[in-house]
Structure 1
Amino acid sequence: MSLVDLARESSSEKRRELLGHVTALFVAGAERYTDEEKTLFNGVMKRLVDFVEEGDKEALAEELCTVDQTPHDLVMQLANENIAIARYMLQYSHVLTYADLMHFAKTKGQGHLLAISKRDHLEARLTDVLLERGELPVHRSVAANPGAELSDWGTRFLIKIADTDEDLRENMLVRRDLTPAHFDKLIGQLPEPQGKKLRQLYKNNEKLVEALFHEASQVVAASRLDRKKARINTKVDLRDIRDGRRDLNKVFTEYTLSSNLLDLSFLLADLAELEQKYVINVILRMEIDGIAIVCKALGIGETEFGTFCKARCGLLKLPTPIADNWISDYRVLKRQDAERVLRFLKVRLKAMEHEEALRQAS
């Protein structure tokens, strides 16, 4: 049956079939259609949207939200729907203008505000509106979004809320746009011993970030590590760990005892969401802090880390008793602090990579 025949049908099933055909045709050729052709597609899709069920509208929104050639009025129509449908356009569509987003932020409910808060980029004034009208889930989402610009008011507002909301505070502590004064206020919300320790951890690891960024590639190049790609069984181990079929500590120990540093670095990098070159760097550095942070954040046990420390002494040709000092330091490191510092490292490294990319492009 042709599209013309389908268009004459009045049943919901046939309209649904027509909408699917038209949408598929539009997506397939969106970049090459003329304005007149886009207008034609827009007219058909807008008309059909009024007659199909909610699930069909949701599927349409999901299909079109990343297609930049989608007509503006169709995007607006879908963004005005209930949140199950609108969230795709509000979070992902580049067709929506700043004015459109401000309109929705000022007039829609919490679900719509939450979807907007997850966009890749939010201007400070738009963020302010989300914070003014949003409830705690929106506040947390804005704080966790590195692409959300914060005004001075917005930063102070979130810091105030962070005093009574630990999740929001954790999100704020790893933002790269905080001033030292704002950072001190957040740290000051923690119990004094914890805040003092965290300040020291961040201070120490700020230096580590610099070293990782500038030295990682050289360390990889200078090492005698086998240059082969991680073996297939390492990827299998990763999948089994995530699925609960294998225990991370057991796999960690196996790799340590086999002195397979390439696969060990691949394993830890994947689980910690770091580039492998950075993990190789912290394994080979004389200082233990970096790899201790990664291992503690991932939940590597004291016994397993002790085995690693002894193997590391052999690798770096260090006296074995040094391993005891490393193990003692690892014992007192809290996993929550390690998780905070790991997030801090990742945010700082990403920021430095972005700055370096901009520098090279200029």
Structure 2
Amino acid sequence: MAVISKLNSLLELAKERSSDRRRTLLREVTDMFFDEPPERDTPVSQEFDDVLSALAEQTAQGARAELAERFADTPLAPRGMLLKLARDAIEVAAPILARSTALSEAELLSIAEQGAQPQLKAISQRELVSERLSDTIVRRGDDETVAVLIRNDGAQLSRASFETVAERAEHSRILQAPVVNRKDTPADLLGDLMLTVENHLRDHILERFDGMEPALVEQALAASHARLSERMSQDQDVEEAEKFVRGMAVRKMLNGGLLARLLREREMTRFHVAFAEMTGVDRVAARRAIDQECIDPLALICRSAGFDKALFVTLAVLRSNATEDAFRDAKELGLLYDRITVEDAARAMRFWRMRRDVAA
């Protein structure tokens, strides 16, 4: 066949030592392919695959990157060459991994299982990412990689992957915005994040809840409360702490001074129970507000409960068992507290107290 004969002649020329000449030949063969693309699994297609693969192996990375860019969008790309490019350096592989529809799911899964974070990021940007691929990326990817996946509306996520990502987001600001902003994030998982994210993201969650049927919101918050309660280790002295708090309430000593003392002395179970009782949230919310890095939930709860600024600042500083140096942040904490309106705090607390009531 004339095409095959010409390809063989070009391949012979490729034995020249000049890298510029080999790059020119690679472009010529590529032009021949696109001028009249052969049917898949034909002798001509196989010959193109052999010649292009051989030429690509003999050319510099820049030429291979150019080749990958040209073949990334054609479903008829020679498969042998395509797989070699997909497993090449990320500068070459990226367009193939991100765009090629000629790669099968099995081939992409194999690359995802073995590839580094740049390969996983490229796959995460595909127009369609299957659940199996997403599961692998969530399992192997770091937070930045998983954030790329979550931002991709074409990525299909299983319930298990959503739960994994939401749990990771509780401790990763990189993941919080992508999870909260994603339209199909399950509502109960958003309920988990209400206690960890910053105020602007919490507002987004509240807007979504406001648009839902009340019964569905109750179901979501109940599921969130049950899951977090199960995950949270059960303190052995909860019963004793509850008895202690009831006693302090009877003696009218359940106040800010008690909270500060319990937190300073690291009597955490008593503190969690007392804080929950004084603010009207459940013990899960009380514990998370103190334990996590983000200060916003603690500020909202304190503002809604009517705590004065000095008590909030004291709790905010003491919660990390900080030294006196931490009091340098007191002014900034006070300014943050002043910026929270009673209305904003009440809106958030409406859902937190709904969690408590549903659980009860």
Q: What interval of TM-score do these two structures reach, taking the shorter chain for normalisation?
A: 0.5 to 0.7
**4+ residue stretches of structure 1 with deviation over 3 A?**
2-7, 31-34, 193-207
- Does residue 1:118 correspond to 2:138, yes or no? no
Give the alignment of 1:86-235 within 5 angstroms.
86-190=93-197, 197-203=203-209
TM-score, normalised to structure 2, is 0.52
Query: 1-side partners of 2:149 and 2:76: how far apart?
Result: 28
Match of 2:13 among 8, 12, 15: 8
Corresponding pairs, count? 209
Measured at CA, do residues 190 and 38 of structure 1 come closer, stay the same or move farther in structure 2, by a change above 3 Å? Answer: same
Contact preservation (8 Å) 1:27, 1:64: no
Measured at CA, do residues 43 and 198 of structure 1 come closer, stay the same or move farther in structure 2, by a change above 3 Å? Answer: closer
Measured at CA, do residues 98 and 200 of structure 1 come closer, stay the same or move farther in structure 2, by a change above 3 Å? Answer: closer
Contact preservation (8 Å) 1:188, 1:195: no
Q: Which amino acid aligns with 2:188?
A: A
Measured at CA, do residues 20 and 170 of structure 1 come closer, stay the same or move farther in structure 2, by a change above 3 Å? Answer: same
How far has the Cα of 1:155 moved from its partner? Answer: 0.7
User: Aligned to 1:68, what secondary structure does the other structure show?
Assistant: coil
User: Aligned to 1:188, what secondary structure does the other structure show?
Assistant: coil
Deviations 1:232-286 (A, max 9, x none): xxxxxxxxxxxxxxxxxxxxxxxxxxxxxxxxxxxxxxxxxxxxxxxxxxxxxxx
Match of 1:28 among 10, 26, 35: 35
Q: Which amino acid aligns with 1:140?
A: A
Q: Which amino acid aligns with 1:45?
A: L
Contact preservation (8 Å) 1:58, 1:84: yes
Deviations 1:204-257 (A, max 9, x none): 6789xxxxxxxxxxxxxxxxxxxxxxxxxxxxxxxxxxxxxxxxxxxxxxxxxx
Measured at CA, do residues 180 and 34 of structure 1 come closer, stay the same or move farther in structure 2, by a change above 3 Å? Answer: closer
Measured at CA, do residues 5 and 162 of structure 1 come closer, stay the same or move farther in structure 2, by a change above 3 Å? Answer: closer
Measured at CA, do residues 38 and 177 of structure 1 come closer, stay the same or move farther in structure 2, by a change above 3 Å? Answer: same
Query: 1-side partners of 2:81 and 2:10: how far apart?
Result: 24
Deviations 1:280-311 (A, max 9, x none): xxxxxxxxxxxxxxxxxxxxxxxxxxxxxxxx
Query: 2-side partners of 1:33 and 1:133: how far apart?
Result: 34
User: Aligned to 2:194, what secondary structure does the other structure show?
Assistant: helix
How far has the Cα of 1:200 moved from its partner? Answer: 4.2
Instruction: Extract unaligned runs of 5+ from structure 1.
Output: 208-331, 334-362
Q: Which amino acid aligns with 2:207?
A: L
Deviations 1:89-142 (A, max 9, x none): 111111111110111111121111111111111222221111211112211111
Query: 1-side partners of 2:210 and 2:23: how far apart?
Result: 59
Query: 2-side partners of 1:146 and 1:166: how far apart?
Result: 20
Contact preservation (8 Å) 1:27, 1:67: no
Measured at CA, do residues 22 and 206 of structure 1 come closer, stay the same or move farther in structure 2, by a change above 3 Å? Answer: farther
TM-score, normalised to structure 1, is 0.52
Identical aligned pairs, as a percentage? Answer: 24
How far has the Cα of 1:62 moved from its partner? Answer: 0.6
How far has the Cα of 1:181 moved from its partner? Answer: 0.7
Q: What is aligned with 2:72?
A: 65
Measured at CA, do residues 158 and 196 of structure 1 come closer, stay the same or move farther in structure 2, by a change above 3 Å? Answer: closer
User: Aligned to 2:129, what secondary structure does the other structure show?
Assistant: coil
Contact preservation (8 Å) 2:134, 2:156: yes
Match of 2:88 among 78, 81, 87: 81
Query: 1-side partners of 2:43 and 2:97: how far apart?
Result: 26
Q: Which amino acid aligns with 1:170?
A: A
- CA RMSD across the alignment: 3.0
Query: 1-side partners of 2:205 and 2:72: how far apart?
Result: 42
Query: 1-side partners of 2:32 and 2:10: how far apart?
Result: 16
Query: 2-side partners of 1:34 and 1:163: how far apart?
Result: 49
How far has the Cα of 1:36 moved from its partner? Answer: 2.3
How far has the Cα of 1:198 moved from its partner? Answer: 3.6
Contact preservation (8 Å) 1:79, 1:89: yes
Query: 2-side partners of 1:204 and 1:31: how far apart?
Result: 56
Contact preservation (8 Å) 2:49, 2:79: no
Query: 2-side partners of 1:176 and 1:93: how far apart?
Result: 26
Give the alignment of 1:39-50 within 5 angstroms.
39-50=46-57
Instruction: Extract unaligned runs of 5+ from structure 2.
Output: 1-5, 214-338, 341-360
Query: 2-side partners of 1:144 and 1:36: how far apart?
Result: 42
